[in-house]
Amino acid sequence: MSVLPSSQVYASVAANTAHYEAALQQLDAALQAPVERQYEIERSLYALLSKVATLKVEHGVELPLAAAEHLLIRTEEEEFIQSQQSAVAEEEAALRGKIVTIYEAVHRATLEMRRALLLDANYQDMKARQSQEARAHHETVAQAEAERSRCQDADLRDQQNRIVGYLASVQYGEPGYAVRGVSKLGDHLFALLCRYPRVRRNRKRLRELEEELEQAQRPADQRHVQLQEWLHSMEAVAGKSAGIDALLDQIADVEQEIAQRQRQSDTLKTQLAAHQGNSDYHFQQAHDLTMEFMHALPDAVLLQTIRRLPGGFGAAHAMEWQRLRSELKSLRSRYGNAFTRRGRAAKDRDRARALEIRILSACDARYGFRPALPLNNLMSGYMAGNISEDEVVRQINAHRIEFGAAHNASAQ
**Span of 62-66, 111-115, 365-369 with lowest mean pLDDT:** 365-369
Pure H helices in 16-64:
17-53, 56-59
- Quickly list DSSP for 222-278: HHHHHHHHHHHHHHHHHHHHHHHHHHHHHHHHHHHHHHHHHHHHHHHHHHHHHHHHH
Cα distances (Å, whole numbers) of residue 77 to 70, 188, 296, 307, 405: 10, 127, 29, 31, 43
Max mean pLDDT among 189-193, 288-292, 403-407 falls in 288-292
Cα distances (Å, whole numbers) of residue 311 to 56, 308, 316, 325: 16, 9, 10, 23
Residue 176 in domain: yes
Pure H helices in 54-64:
56-59
Determine the pLDDT at residue 8. 47
Summarised one tens digit per residue, pLDDT across range 208-247 is 766 766 666 666 566 666 666 666 666 666 565 566 666 6
- Of the chain, the percentage scoring pLDDT greater than 90 comes to 0
Centre a 10 Å sphere on the Cβ of residue 237 and count the other Cβ atoms it contains.
Answer: 20
The distance of Cα 220 from the centroid of its chain, to the nearest Å, equals: 58
Determine the pLDDT at residue 135. 77
110 and 148 in a single domain? The answer is: yes
CATH code of the domain in which 267 resides: 1.10.287
The pLDDT of residue 80 is above 60: yes
Residue 20 in domain: yes
230 and 377 in a single domain? The answer is: no
Q: Does residue 270 contact residue 25 with C-beta atoms inside 8 Å? A: no
What is the Cα–Cα distance from 357 to 393, expressed in whole angstroms?
12
The pLDDT of residue 92 is above 60: yes
Q: How confident is the model at residue 73 (pLDDT cuts 50, 70, 90)?
A: low
Determine the pLDDT at residue 160. 61
227 and 317 in a single domain? The answer is: no
Q: How confident is the model at residue 256 (pLDDT cuts 50, 70, 90)?
A: confident
Summarised one tens digit per residue, pLDDT across range 313-369 is 455 556 666 666 666 666 656 554 443 334 333 343 444 445 445 544 444 443 343
The pLDDT of residue 312 is above 60: no
170 and 22 in a single domain? The answer is: no
Determine the pLDDT at residue 380. 54
331 and 407 in a single domain? The answer is: yes
Determine the pLDDT at residue 286. 61
In the predicted model, what is the mean pLDDT of residues 130-146? Answer: 73
16 and 85 in a single domain? The answer is: no
What is the Cα–Cα distance from 268 to 275, expressed in whole angstroms?
10
Residue 386 in domain: yes
Structural domain boundaries, residue 32: 6-60+308-411
132 and 164 in a single domain? The answer is: yes
201 and 105 in a single domain? The answer is: yes
Determine the pLDDT at residue 295. 57
Summarised one tens digit per residue, pLDDT across range 175-209 is 444 444 445 555 555 555 555 555 566 666 666 76
246 and 154 in a single domain? The answer is: yes
Q: Which of the two residues, 373 and 248, has the higher pLDDT score?
A: 248
User: Looking at the 3D structure of the chain, how many domains does it have?
Assistant: 2
Q: How confident is the model at residue 124 (pLDDT cuts 50, 70, 90)?
A: confident
Residue 281 in domain: no
Own/partner pairs for 137-142, CB < 8 Å, 24+ apart? 137/212, 137/213, 137/216, 138/213, 140/209, 141/209, 141/210, 141/213
The count of residues in the chain is 412
Q: How confident is the model at residue 263 (pLDDT cuts 50, 70, 90)?
A: confident
Q: Which of 246, 273, 300 is the last residue of a domain?
A: 273
146 and 245 in a single domain? The answer is: yes
pTM of structure? 0.30
Residue 283 in domain: no
Residue 235 in domain: yes
Q: Which of 273, 298, 327 is the last residue of a domain?
A: 273
Residue 247 in domain: yes
The pLDDT of residue 169 is above 60: no
Max mean pLDDT among 35-39, 78-82, 147-151, 324-328 falls in 78-82
55 and 110 in a single domain? The answer is: no
163 and 116 in a single domain? The answer is: yes
Q: How confident is the model at residue 26 (pLDDT cuts 50, 70, 90)?
A: low
Summarised one tens digit per residue, pLDDT across range 366-391 is 334 334 445 555 555 655 567 666 67
